[in-house]
Chains A and B, each alone.
Chain A
Amino acid sequence: MSGESATASAGKRKRTETGDKSKKRRKSGGVDGGDLQTQLQKLEAEILESRKHYNNVATLIELAQKKADDVSTAQAASETLCRVFIRLLALGNLVKRKDASEKEATVTTWLRERLADFREVLLSMFDNEKLALQALMLAMALLKAEAQHLDDKPEAIFPRYFFSEIINSIIQSPVDELRETFAENFIDEYDDIRFYTFEAIKDFLGRGDEVDEAIREVVFDMLLGVEEVPDSNDDIDAFYVEPPNKKKHPLRSLSQHKKQAQEAWLAFMRMGLSKEQRKKILAAVSTTIAPWFTKPELLMDFMTDCYNAGGSTSLLALSGVFYLIQERNLDYPEFYTKLYSLLDADILHSKHRSRFFRLLDTFLGSSHLPAVMVASFIKRLARLALNAPPSAIVVIVPWFYNLFKRHPLTTFMMHRVPRTKEEKELIESEGAADPFLPFEQDPMETRAIDSCLWEIVQLQSHYHPNVATIAKIISEQFTKQSYKMEDFLDHSYGSLLEAEMTKEVKKPPVVEFMIPKHIYTKAGPEEEQQDSLLVSLWDFGSS
């Protein structure tokens, strides 16, 4: 449409405006399912035909607003509207021009207001379960069109305000599916959407007003869902809206992306975290979250707090703290003391056991650690092994073996010959008391190095044959260089049982030679046989 004809038709439209409006309204009042489609098509055609029908836009918006009572109408209307607006935007009808006449300016302003109305309608649709997905698609299509054509510039400008409105609505929407779709189709796909999402979330959280728990959870999931950090600036190449041409634009720089992500995360963490969220963050910190940070040091306080919290939170924080120590030169005083305190009664029963042992193996991997401290770790774990499930014992003992190999001083815990005569006499008369102090906090002070590993020797007669065999390795010659920990880490009652049960019985098993006279009943007084433990402690109703 050329500029001249546009102005000419604008004049006509002004005149016919009122009459048209009333007509259309009347028509639209009698809308029913059958000719809805045709009517919408007609309205759309008219709008595109000439300017005088622009009021149809208002009619359509009205139709779209009635989402509560008529879903299909609202759907169809909003779809039509979206098409119309995209067409209009593409034609440049919404562009404010300096040289435009007053009338034209009025039309543009009016159209822009209608566009704002339509946005509102779309965003309000996000709360409706049936409409949400379509509304999201329309909103995103509109966003793209706006970016391209709302201003009279050759470059696309990302409509940040509209986008942050979208994000806010998405966050507050009760529809979970909506968020999933958004994450899948937009955040994961397009780098710029991700960039602006982080920004929007940061703004949303940074507004300072109280955010309730459910929404926090939603934001958390969204943030956590963003994976795959791009490797370099060149990796950022998927754009939803045409990207700016400037090379230096923040959208094209990885560090800017990271910065946005980091700020979003920090904003989120400032809100305060529940215990569950904390654990989730800790679990993901080194794999998903930390790579997004340009300055992971910012996580230090968080991590150390978590690490000091104790319990399973500490366990989970361990890997993050380690990451910081290793990569970011975090100075954590008394790290080993803290690590030692993590070895409590529950650690061997914890489901994070194998994860913890992998880390522990790394921490105690250095041969430069003081043997006294290593001995403390060994002794403490040996104590714990007395109450541990077989799958844990199976990890501990080969690990001990590796430590003994690495720190030969600790082998005195397996082999201690009394050297003086007095010492020998003392042991003869009073027995060997364990000098180990089990409740001492400092691993350098436990006196474990002077103790012996009676616990492991006891486990050599463990009820499970394989555990017993493994426990025997410490009393055999240390001919092997080291054991591979990975072979022992992931076992459980289930896997042990499965290993037994998958084997077919081929050889006839041994059967007890004597058939016992009594299993549940008591032996008669004239019999010499003693009651079994079971019969004497349990009531089988026969006595």
Chain B
Amino acid sequence: MAGSQLKRLKSSLREQGIIGPQKSKKQRRQNAQDQKATNDKRVQRHEALASIREQFNPFQFKTNARGPKFEVTTSKPLTAREAMGINGRPGLTKAVGEERRRETLLVEMQRRNKVGGLIDRRFGEDDPHMSLEDKMIERYTREQQRAHKKGSMFDLEEDDDEQMGGLTHGGRPLFDDDDDVLPKDDFDGEDIPSGDESDNSHAERRVLKRQRLEEALEAAAEQEEGQPDRKKTKKEIYEEIIAKSKLHKLERQEAKEEDNELREEIDEAMGELRSLLFSRQKPGAKDAKDANGTLTVAGKDQATLDREYDVQVRKMAADKRAQPADRTKTDEEMIADAANRLKELEEQRLARMRGMAVEEEEEEEEGGKKKKKRASNDEDLDMMDAEEEEDQFGLGSGIKSNTKYRPTATELGFDDEDDFLIDDDLVASGSELEFDSDDMDEEESDDEDGSGSGSASDSEDDEFTKGLLTEAESKAGVFRLPTTTKGNDANGVPYEFPCPQTHEEILETFKPIAVPSLPVAVQRIRALYHPKLDSRNKERLGNFSQALVRHVAYLGDRFEPEWFPTLEGLTRHVHSLAKTFPIEVAKGYRAVIQEMDQERPLALTVGDLVTLTAVGTTFPTSDHFHQVVTPGMLVVARYLSQKIPRDLSDYATGVYLSILALQFQQFSKRYVPEVMNFCLNTLCALSHEKPRKDLGFFPIHEPAAGIRIKSASKTVVRKLNCGDCQQPEQARSIEDANSLKIAIISTTVSVLKSAADTWHKHPAFYETFSPALLVLQSYLSKSNSVHIPSSLNVKVTETSSALTRLLQISQLSRRPLELHHHRPVAIRTYVPKFEDSFDPNKHYDPDRERAEMAKLKAEHKRERKGALRELRKDNAFMARENLRIKKEKDAAYEKKYKRLVAEIQGTEGQAANEYAREKEARKRKAGRR
């Protein structure tokens, strides 16, 4: 734009139509008539002038030197400010800041170092014309104003209604101000119009309000018609909003009024309605309403009625619901059930053997439901895999992962004694009659003569518990301690026992009883302290079973050959107790195993052998992991692997343990390397000749002197017994030693045979047993075979030929390994994270804390800068003010000084004049003279 500032101003004024060619008179008149337009025009003019003013002040705006930073296209129309890229109005802000400082800082400055005073908030004190009443009115209005200011700054609705703080209930005013029905003073009543302006009635006000509103709306409508394009000013917009809200309020009030009217009508009709309603109810109880008005039903009063009702309800709640009785099953069904149950148990065993979770199935079974929801094999493996990843196979501590999947006796449903009995009914079908009628004597005989009445005492499940409960019931109608029987029976076994809690107590209690009658004693203790008889019995029997485990081991250590049926009986008792007290019994066994491990890992006694055997029968040895069997198996393996036998008894113990280890694995067919090592080493050690070196990869220990067999061809082959496992007090005679050696060899060969039978399906069977074959063949060599009896020779020959056959089969059936037909593992993928509404100015820090920290820091920085700036400005302001005050002071002083000087000069001049005049006069006088 060219031209001077003035020219530009002129042209822009002309553009806006503010100045222009002079209007004719006619035009002017027309304009004046157009009243409505004038007002608007003035506003318009004002705006235009303001914009021009802004335009011509180059310091009014802060703009970007190079225009807006980014070219942006939006749907919204750009304001002038945005179009110019205006960032701020420094002039305006400065002015505002200055003003604010003047209000606050300046005041403070002036008051500084001055003594503070009272602010007199009283009114009318110095106005003698105000009467007391006026003062009161004034105070009231001020109070009202204060209350009003607090709450309703933006309250559009309440602005012209009366400000009634009033009483409220539950946040609502007690008296709805629009409610005409509410009692009011007659003075305030609408129908008596009062001349008082302050008592303006609601109706009147409403009417006024409505009028105002209508006017405003009309005006707005007209404006819209007139200038549809022009933007409304803020004031107009707010006015509109206010008007609208008032309209809404009005509508609400009208609706309410209508409701009230309706209610009034109903209220009036209430008397009739009530009579109608009660006349319906009354006929049932004619005289129910007595003089006092309390209700009675059927001659009873309310309280009694309520009480009776409560009693009835309680009775109903206490009533047992009728349950359908179990249908009596036919024999076939019972057999089928039993078979099913066995099958299920077998399946569970197989699952445990594979080390899988059986828990869910157990639970389902407990509930008696048949739906099978088997955890899929793959899933299971995955889980185990994951756990392994974490704890590295749990060699140190990771075996927990396995225990997680152990089913429990509780889950199997053996925990509860009742369940136990039901099981019993299912399984031990034949035993029921006998045990219902007979008592323990029957069992005694059974235990005493061992296998004699084996079939009679069908010990399928628990003849023990079975017998004892019925016995207890028969003795005392209700369950209570059978105190009637006292003294001893024929075998010298007393009928009453304390319940031994520790092994010491057991020793004490069982001292007078002969070992063979112990099962009877145990039986009686179990009957006397049956858990049904006393709540504490459960704990007692638990402790007793724990102690009993130890006692069996104790007896085993001091064994006599004829005690084994007794040990068997006791072991079976422990087993049956284990069904009720699995944890206690397991703890008992584990304690004994731990003792073995810590005190005599390489010198196991007969008692330990008995304990380990009992472990094998009591607990399922085929499980992948078992809290008792696994440690027991480790103890066995440790002996077999680490014991370097010195005496023949060591060999015998080892052979027993080998048999045991093999028996443990009969079902699951797991491989036990230690058994192979021990058997082969034993055979090599006992053979007459020192075997060749290259038999295989099992370690050979050179035997002690006198272990190798020599000229025992005449010895009779016998079986080993537990006595052979103990070191004799004096050295064995040559015959005894030879007989023992032959027995060891013979048994070892049998063990090898059955080991081969057990493991012949394993893929490395050939590698495992070809050394065994070599060892056996070395026995058949001429130099060896002359030293062993011919019957044993035959046995060895048979075994070796059987082995050869098995080896051939395994060789033929073996296939190359193809272990890795896995599906290829997919590369892991992740879904990318998208931000729906991405804003480049925002920070998307995934770390919440860091993001918050950054935010705080930024805010702090900003605030700090702001505060500094403010302080600087304050200082400048203060300096300025001080300067101003000083200047004022100086000016005042100067003025005063000048005035004084002038005054003095004036006086001086006057005096000088007087003097001159006097001098003149004297001169003249003198002249006269």
The distance from the CB of A491 to the nearest CB of chain B, in whole angstroms, is 6
- Tell me, rounded to whole Å, the shortest Cβ–Cβ distance linking A435 to chain B: 11
By beta carbon, the residue of chain B nearest A517 is B459
CA distance A496 to B674 in the complex (A): 15
On whether A542 and B663 interact (CB within 8 A), knowing A470-B393, A510-B626, the answer reads: no
Any chain B CB within 8 A of the CB of A224? Answer: no
CB distance from B572 to the nearest CB of A (A): 5
Decide yes or no: A389 and B816 within 8 Å by CB, A346-B699, A508-B409, A515-B576 being known contacts.
no
Task: Give the distance in Å from the alpha carbon of A416 to the alpha carbon of B614 in the complex.
Answer: 45
Q: How far is the CB of B405 from chain A (nearest CB, A)?
A: 10
Tell me the complex Cα distance, A417–B388, Å.
Answer: 29
| Bound form: Cα–Cα A455–B814 in Å | 12
Whether A463 contacts B579 in the complex (CB less than 8 A), given A505-B590, A541-B564, comes out as no
Q: Least Cβ distance of A429 to chain B in Å?
A: 8
Interface centre among A506, A515, A542 (most CB of B within 10 A): A515
Contact between A427 and B593 (Cβ–Cβ < 8 Å)?
no
A462–B414 touching, CB < 8 Å: no
Task: Give the CA-CA distance A523 to B385 in the complex, in Å.
Answer: 44
Whether B673 and A389, one on each chain, are in contact in the complex, defined by CB atoms closer than 8 angstroms, is yes
Whether a CB of chain B sits under 8 angstroms from the CB of A538 is yes
A532 within 8 A of partner (CB): yes
Chain A interface category by residue count: 35 or more
- Residues of chain B lying within 8 A (CB to CB) of residue A383: 697, 767
* B394 nearest in chain A by CB position: A466
Q: Is the CB of A539 within 8 A of B719?
A: yes
Nearest A residue (CB) for B560: A541
> B677 within 8 Å of A by Cβ?
yes
Chain A residue numbers with a CB within 8 Å of B77 are: none
Would you call A533 an interface residue if the criterion is a C-beta within 8 Å of the partner chain's C-beta atoms? yes
Which of B412, B624, B817 contacts A414, CB < 8 Å? B817
* A501 close to B597 (CB less than 8 A): yes
Residues facing B in A493-515 (CB within 8 A) are 493-501, 503, 505-515
Decide: B721 and A540 in contact? CB cutoff 8 A. Answer: yes
- Interface stretch, picked from A52-60, A243-251, A368-376, A473-481, is A473-481
Are B451 and A519 closer than 8 Å at their CB atoms? no
CA A491 – CA B767 in complex, angstroms?
26
Q: How large is the interface on B (under 10, 10 to 19, 20 to 34, 35 or more residues)?
A: 35 or more
With both beta carbons as reference points, the residue of chain A lying nearest to B591 in the complex is identified as A501
Bound Cα distance A540, B450 (Å): 13
Nearest-neighbour CB distance to chain A for B578, whole angstroms, equals 5
Cβ contact within 8 Å between B399 and A499: yes
Chain A hits for B722, CB < 8 A: 538, 540
Please measure, in the bound complex, the distance between the C-alpha atom of A497 and the C-alpha atom of B721, giving whole angstroms.
29
Would you call B209 an interface residue if the criterion is a C-beta within 8 Å of the partner chain's C-beta atoms? no
Complex interface residues of chain B between 822 and 840 (CB less than 8 A to chain A): 822, 825
The answer to whether B720 has its CB under 8 Å from any CB of chain A is yes
The contact of B619 among A416, A418, A488, A512, by CB within 8 Å, is A512
Whether A503 and B461, one on each chain, are in contact in the complex, defined by CB atoms closer than 8 angstroms, is no
8 A Cβ contacts from A97-119 to B = none
Q: Kindly state the separation between the CA atoms of A503 and B587 in the bound complex, as whole angstroms.
A: 11
A205 at the interface (CB under 8 A from B): no
Interface residues in B371-389 by Cβ distance below 8 A to A read 384-385, 388-389
Residues of B within 8 A of A344 (CB): 697
Q: Are B395 and A493 within 8 A (Cβ)? A: no
Min CB–CB distance B802 → chain A (angstroms):
16
Interface readout for B617-647 with A: 1 if CB under 8 Å, 0 if not?
1111001111110110111011001100000
- Does residue A327 face the partner (Cβ distance < 8 Å to B)? no
B469, CB-defined interface residue at 8 Å: no
Against A, the Cβ 8 Å flags (1 = close, 0 = not) of B572-607 are 100110110011011100100110010001000000
Within 8 Å of chain A (Cβ to Cβ): is B812?
yes
A458 within 8 A of B: yes
Q: Is A422 an interface residue (CB 8 A)?
A: no
List CB contacts (< 8 Å) of B851-889 with chain A.
none
- Segment of B112-120, B268-276, B654-662 in the binding face: B654-662
Is A522 interfacial (CB 8 A cutoff)? Answer: yes
The interface centre, meaning the residue of A344, A507, A539 with most chain B CB atoms within 10 A of its CB, is: A507
Do B719 and A454 have beta carbons less than 8 Å apart? no
Beta-carbon nearest neighbor of A493 in chain B: B638
Known contacts A434-B766, A510-B352; decide if A463 and B633 are in contact (CB<8 Å): yes
User: B586–A508 contact, CB under 8 A?
Assistant: yes
What is the chain A residue whose CB lies nearest that of B640? Answer: A389
List of 5 A-B pairs having minimum Cβ-Cβ separation, nearest first: A541-B561, A508-B582, A539-B719, A493-B638, A454-B763
Contacts beyond the supplied A510-B626, A511-B619, A542-B564: 16 A-B pairs with Cβ under 8 Å: A386-B764, A390-B637, A455-B767, A458-B764, A461-B670, A463-B671, A465-B624, A466-B399, A469-B393, A493-B641, A497-B597, A503-B399, A505-B627, A511-B409, A518-B451, A540-B722
- Name B residues whose Cβ lies closer than 8 Å to a Cβ of A: 345, 352, 355, 384-385, 388-389, 392-400, 402-403, 406-410, 412, 414-415, 450-451, 454-455, 459-462, 561-562, 564-565, 567-568, 571-572, 575-576, 578-579, 582-583, 585-587, 590, 593-594, 597, 601, 613-614, 617-620, 623-628, 630-631, 633-635, 637-638, 641-642, 656, 659-666, 668-674, 676-677, 694, 696-700, 718-722, 747, 750-751, 754, 762-768, 811-822, 825
20 A-B residue pairs with CB within 8 Å: A386-B767, A387-B696, A415-B820, A427-B816, A434-B766, A439-B694, A461-B762, A470-B393, A494-B601, A499-B396, A501-B593, A505-B586, A509-B408, A510-B620, A512-B619, A512-B620, A516-B572, A516-B617, A541-B562, A542-B562
Chain A interface (Cβ < 8 Å from any Cβ of B)? 344-346, 349, 383-390, 394, 411, 413-418, 427, 430-434, 438-439, 452-455, 457-459, 461-466, 468-470, 474-477, 479-480, 483-484, 487-488, 491, 493-501, 503, 505-524, 526-527, 532-534, 537-542
